[in-house]
Structures are given as structure tokens and as C-alpha cells.
Amino acid sequence: MLIVGAVVVGVVALGYGIHRLLLWAEQRGHVYYLHQRRPAGAGLGLLAQIYEPEMEHVIEEEQSEAVRRQADESGEGGGRDETED
């Protein structure tokens, strides 16, 4: 009974350690875990391009929007005023 309890405590401790490691890696941008969403179509790659070629435009637009958002947040805007169009 003591061995079973020790194994259970060990498994819980290992799971918590892995959880904390994944949160650390996510914070540094190495993995997508809890707080950050995976970009649309990131896991499909070539398969998505073959069966859904129209999705390539959507993925490119989402990526460019993310770049624009990051530039706006960092204050490195392109100096372009949106009302000039």
C-alpha cells in the first residue's frame, strides 16, 4: 500500500513538473500549450494546400495581421495612417 501511494505521489509530481515546463516553454514561444493558440492550418501544411488551396490566402492574411498587430504593440508602426486610403 505504501508503494502504491509513493507511485501516485510521484506521478502527480512528475505531471506537475511537466506542466510547469510546458508553461515556461510556451512563455518563450517554443510551444503552443494553454494560453497561445496555434495558427490556423499550422499542422496540416502540404496536405491543406492540396485539398484546400483557398486556405493558403486565409493563413497568409492571418500571419500578416499578426505581424501588423505585433508592430502596433511594439510601437514600430509603418508610419502609415489608416485614414489616408
User: pLDDT tens digits for 22-79?
Assistant: 999 988 888 888 776 666 555 566 666 677 667 667 777 888 888 888 888 877 655 5
**Residue 13: pLDDT above 60?**
yes
- pTM score > 0.95 for this model? no
- How many angstroms separate the Cα of 9 from the Cα of each of 3, 6, 13? 10, 5, 6
Distance CA 66, CA 73 (A): 10
pLDDT of 85 strictly over 50: no
